[in-house]
Amino acid sequence: MSVVLNLKSHISELFAQALGVVAPEQDATILIERPKQVAHGDYSCNLAMQLAKPLRKSPRDIARALIDALPPSAVIEKVEIAGAGFINLFITKSAKQQIVHAVLHAGAGYGHIHQGQGRSVQVEFVSANPTGPLHVGHGRGAAVGDCLCNVLHAAGWKVTREFYYNDAGAQIENLMRSVQLRCKGITPDDPSWPEGGYRGDYINDVARAYMACETVEADDQHTTGRGDAEDTESIRHFAVAYLRREQDLDLRAFNVEFDVFSLESALYSEGKVEEVVSRLVASGHTYEQEGALWLRTTDFGDDKDRVMRKKDGGYTYFVPDVAYHLDKWRRGFVRVINEQGADHHSTITRVRAGLQALDVGIPAGWPDYVLHQMVTVLKNGEEVKISKRAGSYVTLRDLIDEVGCDATRYFLAARHPDSQLVFDIDLAKSKSNDNPVYYIQYAHARISTVLELWGGERLALLAADVSLLESPYEAELLQQLIDYPQVIESAAQDLAPHLIAFYLKELAAVFHSYYNASRFLVDDEAIKHARLALIAAAAQVMRNGLALLGIGAPEKM
């Protein structure tokens, strides 16, 4: 029997063929789910109930017709109709057991699916202003965004990771002014310090480097300090380059890399902002009022119109955002996902409205957004609010230095982005089963230890007689391995990388239960090989899932 790597997708395809026979004119959504009760089978489909109204027939009669039209499949043991018309399917024991060989043969590729079919997707994430070290909110964006990219790649998408720097505007002016004052020896305690100035110790580091005529490199920027405290343009360029480099070092420590860096300043220097403004004016969706230029965003679902160009001639922040996204569209990204903080929620409608007003073929609802909520950091049961280096917030580097990269990535990515997150430093550092990172990595290390004690050739496990895996613990672990490709599918479809973290925790729990109830290095060679093959497959899936989260899989702990 050939091994089916994704049982859920296989069953969905069978029902798609049956639908083509029973109701070819109907375009129904085929949902295959896992029943909550084991007695109801391995998978369930509600297609018959969906078709009842349009076909004007009993759901149970439609269910019977669908079952009769299902193509034969060696993995299905039996199919039953339950309740009002649910179709429950039972998978053969052999099909489940063969997943062990499928995992061992596929290795790091197990779980990868073809949902994206090689299509391109651009994911923009972090995109912090180059005005200081990355804070924990940026860290959550980095963890969620990077894990999402990994998941989409595993789901068959061609992923481009992009970082957009807001290196223009009032905040950059405040940065320049803060560095200039430090160059002159003026500290934040001085009454002349501007209200919007940056007070962290890092500003003094930038000023010292500038006055010492140091050279910094950041992607496409190569800048040397002039040592002239009155040269505001040089200070601005140097400060931005210096802090871009610092942020890049933080991201490298977090194991996050980007394919493309884009600059807001380039949108102005290359005339892309002016072009967008001209196009919007020509579209007829703008008007002048009280000395300002407005975009009629209410034409596209906004609750009120928005100012594009202020009385002083400066553009509001969403205008370069529209220009930036037009540039994304022109670069060929039919699908774009922006991972940003929840404070960007108000910009979504106006950016989309601006893109629609351009009338260049961009579909409504483009781009997609994933918004993450704030992070609260706890230590010794109390909230931590500041970092000495940053002055007013906890930095990402603070967390990495305190608990390590693996724990930081897991804790920041393991909750739904739209939920508030409490990062408990003490929990993240603990070596106990309450710490999910430790719990998962310990499961992998346990398997590695058993396989090392065995000392056999791993290739021998490919020939193991997996039909001997019959205990309830083994059945549960087999089902976990079967579920992995479906978890990737859901995580990619829902833009929800935290589902990988949930899955790994459950997989570890099932393995630990099996480990505590079983012996692996038994005298019976066939049973020993079967059990070792199963846990070797479990370890492979753990490595694969941890890799999607950017987390290591240690062999010893």
| pLDDT 10s digits, 343-394 | 888 889 999 999 999 999 999 999 999 999 999 999 999 999 988 778 789 9
Answer for the pair 153, 251: CB distance below 8 angstroms, yes or no: no
AA identity, residue 173: E
Higher pLDDT, residue 386 or 226: 226
pLDDT in tens, 412-460: 999 999 999 999 999 999 999 999 999 999 999 999 999 999 999 999 9
User: Distance between CA 538 and CA 544 in Å, rounded?
Assistant: 10
CATH code of the domain covering residue 74: 3.30.1360.70
Tell me the pLDDT tens digit for each residue of 61-93: 999 999 999 999 999 999 999 999 999 999 999
Indicate the residue among 221, 256, 291 that finishes a domain.
Answer: 256
pLDDT of residue 220: 73
State the pLDDT at residue 65: 97
How many domains is the chain partitioned into structurally?
4
Asked if residue 1 is part of any domain, the answer here is no
Domain boundary among 357, 372, 387: 372
Among 91, 107, 141, the domain boundary falls at: 91
Do 162 and 278 fall within a single domain?
yes
SS3 304: coil
pTM of the shown model: 0.94
Q: Please, how many CA atoms are within 13 Å of residue 155, restricted to the half-sphere of its CB?
A: 26
Residue 313: φ, ψ to 5°: 95, -10
pLDDT, average across residues 472-501: 97
How high is the pLDDT of residue 165? 95
Q: Does residue 467 fall inside a structural domain?
A: yes
Does 235 share its domain with 345? Answer: no
The answer to whether position 424 is within a domain reads no
Q: What pLDDT, on the 0 to 100 scale, is given for residue 174? A: 96
- Please tell me whether residues 278 and 139 are part of one structural domain: yes
- 344 vs 332: CA distance, rounded Å: 24
Residues 79 and 179 both lie in one domain: no
- Tokens representing 431 are 């070596």
What's the domain range around 125?
120-166+261-372
Region of 455 (left: φ > 0; alpha: ψ -120 to 50; beta: rest) is left
pLDDT (average), residues 279-291: 96
| Averaged confidence pLDDT in the chain | 95
* The residue type at 249: L
Q: pLDDT tens-digit profile of 308-348?
A: 999 999 999 899 999 999 999 999 999 999 999 998 888 89
What percent of the chain has pLDDT above 70? 100
Residue 124: which pLDDT band, with cuts at 50, 70 and 90? very high
Are the CB atoms for 272 and 323 separated by under 8 Å? yes
Split at pLDDT 50, 70, 90, the class of 39 is confident
Would you say the C-alpha torsion 379, 380, 382, 388 has a positive or negative sign?
A: negative
Residue type at position 305:
D
CA count, 13 A, side-chain hemisphere, 489? 17
Rounded Cα distance, 234 and 227, in Å: 9
pLDDT of residue 2: 61
The band of 36, judged by pLDDT with boundaries at 50, 70 and 90, is confident
Burial class (CB in 10 A: 0-12, 13-18, 19+), 435: buried
- What does the pLDDT read at residue 341? 96
Tokens 């480099």 sit on residue: 245
Note the pLDDT of residue 475: 96
Q: What is the pLDDT of residues 412-425, one digit of tens each?
A: 999 999 999 999 99
Q: Which of 291-305, 386-400, 481-495 has the lowest mean pLDDT?
A: 386-400
Per-residue pLDDT at 517 exceeds 80: yes
Residue 316 belongs to domain with CATH number? 3.40.50.620
